[in-house]
């Protein structure tokens, strides 16, 4: 849960903050100046909100160090009762400083510090309809949302949009309800006409900017971006033509994560915007690595108790804390005998859970969303899984961000927390702050992951700067047996378990494929699934991504590259002193390992094959130290 350090609200302190950091009108209704700015310091992102005196329309622009991040872009919302995108007049402003510390159970780093300035601008139409525009700015982003009083009626849409310079580089994913599109590079203007994922990355002279959402719940509707080729404008379109409302409304945050590429990659801005944890006791929530059996054995393995016990035994030998049982382990609904106390399963799941418990392994089970669709179904399934001792659920095939499905998410999040079940969502939305509010959510798919057979190396190198910025991503690396079905080398595949962050890092290989690659297997044996810190060592979206993640005093390294073979030069910016660095790379006969001692800040040189990469560990060096493995 968040622990406030200080929250300064309207009054003397807020007035002083506003005087120093927020320019604009000092009186309630200034006669000429209709411009407000919000930032935390001179060198951080600066939001500029403007009210056109003639049309009464609002726009918002973002800059950093005087350079363009987002050009002036429309702001507004339309309801049944009023068009709150035009003919607005300014009423008043309220400012406050937000400072918080909170701790998560998974993610890029466990301990988080939040420092934001917030400005709340109140407007009204000539007919008296009210709109509050709330804008927040931090060192790594700008966000805004709308607050409406009761009586505004259902929401019919937003006029919100983001306008980029036409020549801005853009990495976009064609919109899909399951968020499983590939990221492709365009410019802002040349991207084809169509709908795109709301998580879109742009590069301007002000640095990189990732568009995102936060605090999306069943009170509203999910969004996508729509674009007409030839322009740099990306408009917000809701999943529902009508968003049902009851009483007052605070819409989700429209967020712009911005800074240099390292800042964007490391950012927790969308989590920082989200509500504090609603789970009081989080002691049962434990991230970890998982042996996942679907790509290893498919439905046939899911139907076999003997196969699942063998997978559990392998996970136990490796020290991997979880094993996931995918589709096939329970009967179809029309085959259930509800007079049987084990009616949800073909009766062997409790036996498997007990076998795994004795070995120190927790069981995660796959389940289709349709089995959990109603309160009655959830009341049958969730207590039963908890009683058996199942540790978590992988829920699949939501495939929607419509308001009705988001309301289902609201229910299942509350109920899985009550039954102490970890959660992995597939065919799903993306986190959007969910993991701060509901820390039992260890990971979500929402990505074109390892199961896809059309992924490109460029897509793999774009993900750390796009989808994985938002929160944990269940890409399921480690599918070594899928040679020819994945675009990368074995060394790159090994490193993906670090390059991609996931609170449940599900390894997608077969035991035989790990045993055939003992260096990769030993590397996976060392990997945690929760991190004390994350740093980008080198990166260009669509070309290369090298990340370092710290656990204790060790840094784990993962690099993935697109294009031709090369010698990669990676700055070892993991701290001062000497470091023993072990790297796993592709050799002529398979994976090979190098060891060298480098100083912090030195260049780590790694030979990379075409579509390749590497994995590594850096630990503080001392005389006589021969390995980073423990």
Q: Give 140's DSSP letter.
A: T
Give the whole-angstrom CA distance, residue 471 versus residue 257.
13
Which pair of tokens denotes residue 170? 């853009």
Average pLDDT, the chain: 93
Give the whole-angstrom CA distance, residue 392 versus residue 433.
20
| Average pLDDT estimate for 160-170 | 98
Virtual CA dihedral for 83, 88, 92, 95, nearest 10 degrees?
60
Q: How far is CA 475 from the centre of its chain?
A: 12
Residue 100 annotated in active site: no
Helix axes 518-526, 490-499, angle to 10 degrees: 10
How much is the pLDDT for 3? 39
Neighbouring residues of 328: CB distance < 8 A, sequence distance ≥ 6: 298, 299, 300, 301, 302, 303
Structural domains for the chain:
3-273 (2.70.98.10), 288-530 (3.20.20.70)
Residue in 132, 123, 62, 120 with CA at minimum distance from that of residue 96 = 120
Half-sphere exposure of 175 (CA within 13 A, CB side): 21
Which pair of tokens denotes residue 113? 């510090």
How much is the pLDDT for 20? 35
Which pair of tokens denotes residue 55? 């049309």
Give the whole-angstrom CA distance, residue 467 versus residue 139.
20
- Among 33, 154, 373, 451, the active-site one is 451
Please state, for a pLDDT cut of 70, what percent of the chain lies above it. 92
Q: How far is CA 556 from the centre of its chain?
A: 20
How much is the pLDDT for 347? 72
Alpha helices in 463-541 (DSSP H): 467-470, 490-499, 511-515, 518-526
How much is the pLDDT for 36? 97
pTM: 0.93
Residue 493 annotated in active site: no
pLDDT at 1 over 60: no
pLDDT band at 293 (very low <50, low <70, confident <90, very high): confident
| Average pLDDT estimate for 572-583 | 98
| Average pLDDT estimate for 472-481 | 97
Query: 83-111: per-residue pLDDT in tens?
Result: 999 999 999 999 999 999 999 999 999 99
How much is the pLDDT for 337? 54
How much is the pLDDT for 442? 98
The neighbour count for residue 63, using CB atoms within 10 Å, is 21
- Among 118, 140, 215, 396, the active-site one is 396
Q: In which element (H, E) is residue 410 found? A: helix 403-418
How much is the pLDDT for 15? 38
């Amino acid at each position: 849960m968040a622990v406030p350090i200080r929250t300064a609200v309207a009054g003397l302190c807020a007035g002083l903050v506003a005087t120093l950091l927020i320019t604009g009108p000092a009186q309630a209704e200034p006669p000429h100046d209709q411009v407000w700015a919000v930032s935390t310091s001179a060198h951080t992102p600066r939001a500029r909100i403007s009210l056109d005196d003639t049309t009464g329309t609002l726009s918002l622009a973002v800059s950093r160090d005087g350079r363009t991040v987002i050009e002036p872009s429309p702001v507004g919302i339309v309801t049944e009762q009023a068009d709150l995108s035009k003919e607005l007049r300014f009423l008043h402003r309220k400012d406050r400083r937000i400072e918080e510390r909170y701790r998560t159970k998974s993610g890029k780093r466990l301990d988080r510090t939040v420092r934001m300035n917030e400005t709340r601008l109140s407007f009204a139409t000539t007919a008296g309809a009210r709109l509050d525009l709330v804008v927040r700015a931090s060192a790594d982003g700008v966000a805004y949302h709308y607050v409406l009083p009761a009586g505004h009626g259902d929401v019919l849409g937003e006029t919100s949009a983001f306008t980029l310079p036409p020549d801005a580089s853009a990495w976009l994913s064609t919109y899909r309800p399951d968020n499983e599109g590939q990221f492709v590079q365009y410019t802002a203007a040349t991207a084809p006409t169509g709908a795109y994922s709301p998580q879109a990355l742009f590069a301007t002279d002000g640095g990189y900017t990732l568009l995102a959402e936060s605090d999306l719940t069943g009170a509203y509707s999910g969004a996508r971006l729509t674009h007409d080729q030839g322009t740099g404008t990306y408009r917000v379109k809701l999943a529902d033509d009508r968003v049902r409302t009851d009483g007052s409304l605070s819409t989700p945050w429209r967020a712009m994560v911005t800074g240099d590429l390292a800042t964007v990659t490391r950012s927790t801005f969308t989590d920082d915007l989200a509500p504090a944890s609603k789970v009081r006791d989080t002691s049962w929530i434990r991230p970890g690595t998982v042996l996942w059996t679907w790509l290893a054995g498919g439905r046939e393995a899911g139907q076999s108790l003997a196969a699942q016990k063998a997978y559990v035994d392998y996970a136990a030998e490796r020290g991997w804390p979880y094993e996931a049982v995918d589709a096939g382990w329970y009967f179809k609904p029309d085959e259930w005998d509800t007079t049987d106390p084990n009616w949800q399963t073909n009766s062997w799941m409790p036996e498997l859970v007990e076998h795994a418990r004795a070995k120190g392994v927790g069981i995660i089970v796959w389940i289709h969303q349709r089995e959990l669709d109603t309160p009655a179904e959830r009341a049958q399934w969730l207590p039963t899984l908890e009683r058996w001792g199942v540790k978590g659920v992988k829920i699949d095939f939501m495939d929607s961000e419509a308001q009705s499905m988001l309301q289902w998410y609201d229910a299942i999040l509350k109920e899985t927390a009550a039954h102490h079940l970890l959660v992995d969502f597939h065919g799903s939305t993306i986190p959007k702050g969910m993991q701060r509010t509901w820390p039992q959510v260890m990971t979500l798919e929402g990505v074109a992951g390892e199961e896809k057979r059309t992924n490109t190396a460029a897509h793999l190198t774009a993900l750390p700067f796009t989808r994985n910025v938002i929160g944990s991503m269940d890409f399921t690396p480690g599918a070594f047996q899928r040679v020819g079905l994945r675009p990368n080398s074995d060394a790159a595949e090994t490193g993906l378990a670090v390059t991609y962050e996931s609170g449940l890092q599900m390894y997608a290989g077969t035991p035989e494929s790990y045993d055939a690659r003992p260096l990769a297997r030993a590397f996976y044996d060392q990997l945690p699934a929760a991190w004390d810190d994350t740093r980008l060592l080198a990166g260009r979206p669509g070309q290369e991504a090298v990340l370092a993640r710290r656990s204790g005093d060790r840094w784990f390294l993962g690099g993935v590259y697109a294009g031709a073979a090369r010698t990669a030069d990676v700055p070892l910016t993991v701290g001062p002193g000497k470091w023993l660095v072990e790297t796993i790379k592709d050799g002529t006969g398979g994976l090979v390992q190098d060891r060298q001692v480098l100083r912090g800040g030195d260049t780590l040189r790694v030979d990379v094959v075409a579509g390749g990469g590497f994995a590594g560990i850096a630990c503080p060096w001392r005389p006589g130290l021969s390995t980073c493995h423990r």
